[in-house]
Amino acid sequence: MRSALLPPPRTSVRNIIKPCLHGRLVRSGRRLRPYHPFHTSGPQSSAPVLIHLKQLPKAPLAPAAAAAQEPPPQQRRETSTARSSSSSGRGGGSSGRVGGSSGRGGGRGSRGAAPESRHGAAGRGGGNREAGGQDVKPPQWGRQGGRGGGGRGHGGPARGSCSADALRGAPDLRTLMALIEDLAPAWAAAGDVDSLRTAFSVLVRLGSRPGADTRLLPRALTTLAAAYLPLVPGLGDAFSCVAPLYACAKLGFWEGQLPAALLERLGRDGGKLMHGATAQGHSNLWWSLSSADAPPHLITLADGALNASAVCLEQMRPSELGPQACSNILLACARLQRRHDPLLHHLTACLVQLPDAKCQELANSLYALGKLAESCGHKPRQQDLRSLAGRVLQRLLSQQPGRQHGEGFQGDADRFVPQALSNMLLGCAKLGFSQPELVQSMAAALAGSSQRVAEQQLANALYALAALGCSGAGFTSATKQLFDEVRWRLHSTPGHFIPQHLSNLLWALERLRPGGQQEALLQEALAAECRRRLFAGFKPQELGNAAWALARMGFSEQDWYEAAVAAALVSGAMRGANAQAWANMWYALALVRHRPPDALMEATTAALREVTAAAAAAAGDNNGNGGKHASGGRLLGPTPQACSNLLWSLATLGLYQQ
């Protein structure tokens, strides 16, 4: 039997303290006894939270945004005297940023068919961080071809032509490694930048192939870096700096002095070299620095080059930039959390003026704008946002059966894939942009391909629909299909959902409330999967949100909440929790009348004292910037709403220490 839900806490201090003053019942073991209204002692956690209790909101805090399955930027393939064939991205994965592969790109001056993951292919156990999942071909370096082509390269000198042919013909890494070790010293002595650049390009191609013996990569890169480093001070164009930097980023090689030397050369003399770069050269610089594992000190070192690049980009016309560069740089700015409003406005305005933008470029841009809004506070101009939304909607409608292809339609091969649809929904949620026709079309398109949607995409899409309040009749069919797919996956492949997925799906279910048997079955399935894992891997916010959502839906199985409390105390699931996570946990326990052991009160008290002290210290360090942590901008101290909910929960449970 599920217990009836309590009404939400009122907003006045009087209503929060009222249970303390009017003799509410207090649990003593399994029996209830009257609480004496004149008892002076209160819960240990009251002191640290009451100092913040001023204006109290009406409802408990919602969970933070889901992690995106982040779209990767597309890379343009280019031809040169040092031509090399398509390559794949590197694999690997850390904290959800998992490795990637790439597919084939276009021809001379064309764009790759699909983007490359910043961190690679989407892993099912991708953690709380972002992951990509699209395939792409990285660019081939050399003299640019086509609109927005490569970086201003050198045509390969005659002395390097034979060795360049040998490099391009190398069938595997071992053969290439032998050539590099044999020829690199001579290239360095002769100043043969083109052959060295070709070697970097072929190394990316061969090293990214599935099954490649990547153990040879560090040795090959170290050899090439040692040969290239003495030539860096004399490099005369941005292309010769960006090409090896891209190779380092692509293969995750940041050791040694070469990356720093290349960035220093690009930033010298006010970034003079960047003024000669093409749009694709600028794009590849931004992508390289926003790629996985780029060390923070290198990003700081790149300030001069990036600032010069921004100035140049703002002066380029839409036809000079091209849609791919606009999209990739917007996405790189979002990843780097680099807010430069004039550049961001210019890139967005240029993108919507280009009729040949591909679906992936439109999707990446909409997602990037949402991420910039969330992480940096960037607000795109409404006319640009509406124009971008209109382009997306036009393309979605043109892809419906029986509809005519609209302007700029690229053919059946250019469609919004499930990841793009999920990311666009998440971008709209971050922007708070809820144009009904657009959101309904995206939800319907995603539901129509639900069997091909990854678990992270399902969780993100439903989270976004819930955050946008999409519970009306126009969304019923789409949300039902998506929730049905979630329930099927929980039955067939439950291990593919990570804790964040489960937590956000519960939150979305509580907000969307599809009702009927579907809601009851999905609620039971999600709760059972959390319990089956004993909440292993749950972070504080995920545990608190899961309990909060289930309690709000009337799920009152006491064994479930007992297991959640045990995870918080024994497994350390609430270690490092902020005030919101604690408030959500206690709010859930109060709704279902589950009295936890005293150890949870002690842990809550200690944690709130710690975060309150940290917030006070951070506020002093940041000159009163609202108690935000200097490094991440996260609010450390208890908010008024968290205080309100926590006090109401303690009063409801009658937890007053004697």
Tell me the per-residue pLDDT of 190-230, one tens digit each, with 9 for 90 and over.
999 999 999 999 999 999 999 888 899 999 999 999 999 99
Residue 602 belongs to a domain: yes
pLDDT of res. 248: 95
Amino acid at 486: V
pLDDT of res. 400: 81
pLDDT of res. 621: 63
Other CB atoms within a 10 A radius of the CB of residue 324 amount to 30
Is 208 in contact with 101 (CB distance < 8 Å)? yes
Phi, psi dihedral angles at 26 (to 5 degrees): -120, 135
Is 78 in contact with 144 (CB distance < 8 Å)? yes
Q: How far apart are CA 451 and CA 319, in angstroms?
A: 38
Residue 258 belongs to a domain: no
Q: How many CA atoms lie within 13 A of 367 on its CB side?
A: 32
Q: Give residues with Cβ within 8 angstroms of 49, minimum separation 6.
A: 579, 608, 612, 638, 642, 643, 646, 647
Residue 644 belongs to a domain: yes
Residue 636 belongs to a domain: yes
Q: How many domains does the chain have?
A: 1
pLDDT of res. 636: 55
Residue 146 belongs to a domain: no
Residue 601 belongs to a domain: yes
pLDDT of res. 129: 35
DSSP letter assigned to residue 76: B
Q: Please give the angle made by the CA atoms of 200, 203 and 209, to the nearest 5 degrees.
A: 145
Q: How far apart are CA 463 and CA 110, in angstroms?
A: 35
Whose tokens are 């960047």? That residue is 274
Closest CA to 548 of 577, 578, 583, 575: 583
Burial class (CB in 10 A: 0-12, 13-18, 19+), 467: buried
Q: Max CA-CA distance within the chain?
A: 96
Amino acid at 607: A
Closest CA to 76 of 133, 122, 168, 145: 145
pTM of the entire predicted model? 0.76
Phi, psi dihedral angles at 34 (to 5 degrees): -65, 145
Residue 33 belongs to a domain: yes
pLDDT of res. 615: 78
Question: Where in the sequence is the domain holding 637, given as residue range(s)?
Answer: 1-61+577-658
Amino acid at 429: A
* Residue ranges for the chain with pLDDT beneath 50: 1-69, 71-73, 75-160, 405-410, 624-635, 658
